[in-house]
Amino acid sequence: MKEWKRLLKSFSFAWEGIVFTFKNEKNMKIHCAVALFVCMTAWLFGLSKTEWFIILIAIGVVLSLEMMNTAIERVVDFVAPEFHPLAKIAKDVAAGAVFVFAIISAIIGAIIFFPHFMALIS
């Protein structure tokens, strides 16, 4: 019983982290809006299971990276509230990680949706 309570508590802390990121990070709102749009388009095009699988992984990784970026930003602000070159590197590298995977996800989306879009207009 105690184990269950501990597990539920850890889920609720994780949920608090998700809500915090969504409320405080503009980029997270943008990622969520794009993810919703992509899922609706995928549903309309009737993507295969494999295509859904790839798209959901891309969405999951982008959202998770944005949350890791937010966590790193907050830790950096906590330990280095003043300007510091290492704080800059930590924040820039974390933001870069999100950017790299967001670009890769856009390419993945283009590769998956392009044939469906061409089939629709031809």
Ligand X SMILES: Nc1ncnc2c1ncn2[C@@H]1O[C@H](COP(=O)(O)OP(=O)(O)OP(=O)(O)O)[C@@H](O)[C@H]1O
Least distance to ligand X, CB of residue 51, Å: 30
Cα distances (Å, whole numbers) of residue 17 to 5, 116, 117: 19, 36, 37
Q: Is 66 a catalytic residue?
A: yes
- Alpha-helix residue ranges (DSSP H) falling in the chain: 2-24, 26-45, 49-79, 85-121
Least distance to ligand X, CB of residue 101, Å: 14
CA distance between the termini of the chain? 59
Residues that bind ligand X (CB under 6 A): 25, 27, 73, 80, 83-84, 87-88, 91-92, 95
Binding site: residue ranges?
6, 25, 66, 73, 82-84, 91-92
Given the residues 3, 16, 51, 66, select the one marked as catalytic: 66
Annotated catalytic residues are 66
